[in-house]
Amino acid sequence: MKNLFLIFLLLPFFTFSQNKRALTVDDLWKMKRVGYFEPSPDGKKIVFELTSYSMEENKGHTDIYIMESDGKDLHALKSTDKNETLPKFTPDSRKVSYIKDGQIWLCNTDGTGEEKLTDIYTQVSDYKWARDGKKILFASSVYPDCKDQDCNKAKDDEKEKSPVKARIITGLMYRYWNDWRDDKRSHLFLFYPGEKDYIDLNLNSESDVPPVDLGSTDDYNFSPDNLEIVLTMNTSKVVALSTNNNVYVGKVSEASVNGASALSKISESKGNNFHPFYSPDGKYLAFLSMERPGFEADKKNIILYDRSGGTSKNVTSKFNLSVDDIIWSPDSKAIYFVSENEIYSSIFKLDLNSGEIKLLLKEHINSLPNISPDGKVLYFKQQRTNLPDEIFCMNSDGTDIKQLTHINAELLSGIEMNPLETFWCEGADKTKIESIIIKPPFFDPAKKYPVIFLIHGGPQGHWDDDFHYRWNEQLFAAKGYVVVSPNPRGSTGYGQKFTDEISGDWGGKPYIDLMKSFDYAINNFKFIDKNNQFSAGASYGGYMENWMEGHTTRFNAVVSHDGVFNAESEYGTTEELWFPTWEFKGAPWQNRKLYEKWSPHMYIQNAKTPMLIIQGGMDFRVPEEQGFQLFTSLQVLGVESKLLYFPNEFHFVIKPQDARLWWNTVFDWFAKHKK
């Protein structure tokens, strides 16, 4: 009788487990993605972007949703056949602005009363409200010397009508990520909604605001009294060689008349300075700053600029981690920020009076912190390896964490995913290395599973507790693999010294760290099948796959996605020249021995492992010639190899149908080489 009772007791559990299934590629693209969000200034409501994807139409669509600040009454605010993005409350909280068809629109908080604010030919890419609600700053890509929109339109029309599509290029950087920059630059405009009038604040300037690289949409803003603006700009002659973004301030009245010439530089570092925010009381400006010029992965510190005294202070110099998103407390006495912290992105609080930094929330990947007007509640996005981004809140002391949205709850309820686990081992020089391990769904410890060894890009990046929509560790595991993802030196989240130690040593200690991490997993987890070992990586991870191709035969098969193969030739085709200049200690003609030492093409004659090469035709960071050189070399050497080429994708594969082909090709490649 007891046994019968136990069976009935466990029946719901067994039924629930049996109804679940493994994650699929189509599941990944059915999930709706929470984007930018913002609480209202009065603290009563939250608006956010929600993007859905159609596999059939091969594209995404973004709508705007609104809810009470406690998560109740969630509903669509704007859901049409158009993309509506970047929702922001007006300063009085009565209306919501957003971008549609490249223009700023306005509506009531119930979605009615839609009004088009801007009608600028070159369109709006981002915007910020002044606190008085009478002014807006927005960015738009224009011809620097055009004094009006008619001029911009005339130049575009002339290009369009001409049968000659040649480009005449006279300087760097002439292309970026997947775009040809041509002659246009992003300029900052001051817009008066009441008069429908806008002013180009950096007319005739060749500098982009926000900067073309290492910048963000948080690189300009109004002061609390609406009289001053702050912006980030790189005025270097050759931006392809410079990370020297600087922070400038100027009076609105003077900037309206004199443009960029009315601005004053307040940042002092020759590295990257960006992300400026005024304190609510107007006394200070806080911004992020890197010290070393030319190094995009240097430690980011918070610089506090005293507006009355004109002095600056580094308030995180003794903090071991690099700072990301920052926000002020309403009373201007504290700054909340996010830092990569081992495999997490954690939320911290900096008390400006004492200088004390307190960890509020360590676990998971937290981003976009916001705070209620009374300073009592923090709002933020959070994701985990088994949970896509949702909006959360907690008390400003780190207590009482609540999940406010459950966008993908129904879909997730039917999918079996194991939470991540971690292990530490000794790498080169006995340095401690952390790795993530994820077990396949319906895991049985008595069974043996093939393993996929994942190598992250950057190289100054890290594997973390995120739900990645491209390199999703849960999806790799869903096909019955154990996934091992190490963070070797060069990874972020473990202190700046650890991050620095990859530069000039790409195939050295980081390679040893990786191999020792993999050895540890193979030798300590008995459920891993030693006869079925696979590896995959992208960007620097692709480089490392190419490097391993000439240095080990331990894997059954590998995947290299957009990875550097010939370090010297890549220097001449990539766009961010400061990157190889820093990583290889100069240009090839200055330090050819180092380029040759760490270039995979110098060792390709040793290749034996079957390799799948994936390359984007629009990848200007690691251009297609790298993938072509690698494939040609392997084919000539008689090494089993396959090239998957996406002519319209760039460093990332972002179209749903292309992504499905990517995943299926990778899984087929591994399945083909299982023993």
Question: Which residues are annotated as catalytic?
Answer: 539, 619, 651
Residue 604's nearest CA partner among 631, 569, 570, 574 is: 631
Sort 16 into a burial class: Cβ within 10 Å, 0-12 / 13-18 / 19+: exposed
Residue pointed to by tokens 């981003």: 367
CB 209 within 8 Å of CB 218: no
List of E strands, 33-112: 33-39, 45-54, 59-68, 75-78, 84-89, 95-100, 103-108
CB contact set of 616 (below 8 Å; sequence gap of 6+): 178, 562, 624, 646, 649, 650, 651, 652, 653
59 residue type, one letter: K
Element (H, E) at 520: helix 509-524
* Type of residue numbered 385: T
> Quick check: helix, strand or coil at residue 138?
strand
Bridge partners of 366? 382
Indicate the Cα dihedral angle 574, 583, 235, 240, nearest 10°. Answer: -10
The full DSSP string for 242-309 is ----EEEEEEHHHHHHHGGGG-EE----SS-EEEEEE-TTSSEEEEEE-SSTT-TTSPPEEEEEETTT
3-state secondary structure of 139: strand
Which residues are bridge partners to 423 per DSSP?
A: 435
CA–CA separation, 350 vs 329, rounded Å? 10
The token pair that represents 101 in the structure block: 């068809």
Distance CA 388, CA 411 (A): 11
- Characterise 588 by phi-psi region: left (phi > 0), alpha (psi -120 to 50), beta (else): alpha
- 267's CB contacts (< 8 A; 6+ apart) are 246, 247, 273, 287, 289, 303, 312
Q: Which of 396, 485, 402 is nearest to 438 (CA)?
A: 485
- Identity at 196, one-letter amino acid code: K
Rounded distance, CA 293 to CA 69, Å? 42
Sheet holding 557-561, edge to edge: 421-426, 432-438, 482-487, 449-455, 528-538, 557-561, 611-616, 641-646
CA-CA distance, 338 to 324, in Å (whole number)?
5
Using CA of residue 454, residue 460, residue 463, residue 468, what is the dihedral sign? Answer: negative
Question: In Å, how far are 123, 273, 353, 536, 583 from 502, measured between CA atoms?
Answer: 41, 23, 37, 20, 8
Question: Rounded to a whole number, what is the distance in angstroms from the first to the last CA of the chain?
Answer: 47
Q: CA of 409: how far to CAs of 37, 54, 285, 400, 405, in Å?
A: 19, 19, 40, 21, 9
